[in-house]
Structure 1
Amino acid sequence: MSEELITNIYNAFDPFQPLEPDDPVYVDCHQVRGDENIFRELGKKIIRSKQPTCQLYTGHRGVGKSTELKRLKKHLEEKGFLVVYFAADQEDIDSEDAQYTDILLACTRHILEELKNLASPQPLQEWLKGRWQSLKDLALTEVSLETVYSNRATQVRDNYGDCQVLPMIMVRNTDDSVYEPGLKTLKELIGKRVGQFAPDASLDTEIFDKSETIERLCLASGGHVREVMQLMQTALDWTDDFHY
């Protein structure tokens, strides 16, 4: 039973698999991320604007952007919006060798795929022709943390408005002391994923050997969600049995 349990828990920490909306293992982290709220910061602008809007959203790789965007997609669909979501680097675009035309063609393909059973694509094709230059400009815009905090930030803000950044989870204060709410959130994140397969197990004494070990793992991640996932999988690589 232990080997099967270890395998299930190992796969629950897949660092490259975003969560779907309403996944029971989702943990609300906004209070330890500076009150970041994608529904308020991106969603309300989209819903309330009477003009086309462009929302830029960035953060470290693996911090949880895809999970939050999937939640935003569901939120907007519940408001009556048609949302086309796709992860460009999974099938359409080589992130190491991407041209702006690759991005535009990928966007166009996915939009047409979504609309093919709903309406004629001709009006959309005409609209895209008229917006090609602005879409090209957007595709050529570098949106990274370095850009957001560089001397190019004003140019990006003038063209597209404020760029929303999804921060990492805060685990230390400025004096390097432990930020307990952030540590508690990461432990909850680990506990929910383990709890799918071992709901009665004590995280501190039956999955980990002691509470200090899980705290060390959380602090070693620096509050980076993907790092937590990878550290958990690495720890499980060295685990042959649980005391459960």
Structure 2
Amino acid sequence: MTIDLRRFFQVTNPSKTLAIENLEDQKYYIDFSSVRGGKIIAELKDKITFFSPDEPTCMLFTGHIGCGKSTELLRLKVELEKEGFHVVYFESSEDLEMADVDTADVLLAIARRVSQSLNLIDININPNRVSKLKQLLQGAVDILNSDLQSVKFKIPGLGDVGISSQDESNGEKFSLAFGIGEITTRIKSDVKLRQKLNQYLGPQKNQLVEAINQELLQPAIAALKTIGKKGLVVIVDNLDRVDSRAKAWGRPQQEYLFIDQSEYLTKLDCHLVYTMPLALMFSDGYGNLTQRFPEDPKVLPMVPVQLKDGSDDTTGMMLLQQMVLARAFPEVKPQERLNKITEIFDEAASLDRLCRISGGHVRDLLRLLNNWIQKQRDLPLRRQTLETLIRSRCNEMTMQISDDEWELLRQVKERKKVGGDQEYQKLIHSRLVFEYRDRHGESWFDINPIIAQATELKSK
């Protein structure tokens, strides 16, 4: 079998999220749950489908950026749909300015995405039921110095988008999703407009939640059940990318959104899954966070390449190898792929080195592999090229590390644990430190293997 190098390069794109409903992507998917401390996605699914199918739920999902959360959430979407739920999945970074997010922004994004999704399956809500939402949006548009009636409510090629209501006075159609989309598009790149909108909606967040529940979510669920659906689930991905910078009054944005404003995020009348910044797990406010959400956050850790005692995690390494080999040989059975390693790499040890140096971070592994293919442009991939890439990446990562941070990294390397202060949060956010879970679900930490050979990490 001749490997198409260009195709191999394309399917190792680290920016591409596997969509499990896609038959082609299913061939590349590897289930890491056996080495990640438990079946986390199954727990999220069971909470919705078995324990509380008819009651609203709200759960948090976190992990290092790039560790595979989006792929797992898309798998959750597929499994929930098989159970009869209507699932709305969206990447919040497409709707929000992550450096400046407020609660109303998140609520509006959810309302917009739900209304768009309902329109796609021809569910229409009673036009008279969106009066409060329309009034709030009208006020928002007025605040932004625009006239709602001047907005065109049709998207070329798609027609009307979202839940619609008929304005009896002039026969024009109001589109909830399009109206929200017009607002969010205008404010995303304009900090002054965002401030104006939040000054207007901030004091009315209770009314906004109430309007979304009464005029959108509750009638939507009722309509979904008439066509045999069991309920509505909204998965808000990429909210873990909210910037950690402080708000104008000094409160860190992540803590403001997920702790101070949690009462609004948890009050929508549907099943909700939000991704949450991993750093909040190690903040002083984590105790408050767990009190304000009904469930403790579910953490997706790294795929372990070694155990806490330093010995090899053979299962974790085997699964990472299969992830690489599946991209080259998607039609070949897993055991048979092992006989084809030298069709891609100069020796099996080179594949081992790739997996081990990634620290079990899925996107980092794919990025190294993708760069390796691009730099060499032929097969088999040679170890020497990989080592050049590793040295370059190590240099990039260590340039910004301060003396104090090196000391913290030495402590993590020795103790396999972290503290709760902001410096540790920074190390985790920067992917200098990874979290792992053992077979019993207990967490431990280690430094990113890329920087493990740095001279600064040698004991003093």
Q: Residue type of the partner of 2:306?
A: R
Which of 53, 56, 62 is 1:58 aligned to? 62
Letter in 1 for 2:20: P
- For the residues of structure 2 that align with 1:108 and 1:176, how far apart are their CA atoms? 48
Instruction: Tell me which of 249, 252, 264 is aligned to 1:135.
Output: 264
SS of 1:86's equivalent?
strand
Deviation, 1:96, is: 3.0
Q: Give the 3 Å change call, closer, same or farther, for CA 206–231 of structure 1 in structure 2.
A: same
Q: Does 1:25 align with 2:33?
A: no
Q: Which residue of the partner structure matches residue 43 of structure 1?
A: 45
User: Does the 8 A contact of 1:207 with 1:242 survive in 2?
Assistant: yes
Amino acid at match of 2:319: T
Aligned residue for 1:191? 325
Mean Cα deviation higher: 197-206 or 113-122: 197-206
Which letter maps to 1:42? Answer: L
SS of corresponding position for 1:16: coil
In the alignment, is the contact (CA less than 8 A) between 1:208 and 1:214 conserved in 2?
A: yes
1:131-190: CA deviations, max 9, x gaps?
A: 778435789x99322212333222111111210001110111122222111110100000
Give the drift of 1:220. 0.5
Quote the Cα distance in structure 2 between the aligned partners of 1:11 and 1:138.
Answer: 42
DSSP-derived class of the 1:62 partner: coil
Q: Secondary structure at the match of 2:17?
A: coil
CA positional deviation for 1:63: 0.8
Which residue does the alignment assign to 2:449?
A: none
- Aligned-pair RMSD on alpha carbons? 3.0
* Count, aligned residues: 240
Aligned-residue offset at 1:121: 6.3
The 3 A distance-change label for structure 1 pair 176 and 121 is farther
Shift of 1:35: 1.9
Shifted more, 172-181 versus 96-105: the winner is 96-105
Task: Give the corresponding residue for 2:345.
Answer: 208
SS of residue paired to 2:298: strand
Structure number with higher strand proportion: 2
Correspondence 1:67 to 2:71: yes
The Cα of 1:230 is off from its aligned counterpart by 0.2
> Equivalents in 2 of 1:243, 1:158: separation in Å?
53
Q: Which runs of 4+ in 1 moved over 6 A?
A: 124-127, 197-201
Q: Secondary structure at the match of 1:151?
A: coil
Q: Which structure would you say has the larger Rg?
A: 2
Which segments of 5 or more consecutive residues in structure 1 lack a partner in the other structure? none
Secondary structure of 2:7's counterpart equals helix
Q: For the structure 1 residues 38 and 243, does the alpha-carbon distance in structure 2 shift closer, same or farther, using more than 3 Å as the test?
A: closer
Select 2:315's aligned residue among 181, 186, 189. Answer: 181
- Corresponding residue of 2:4: 5
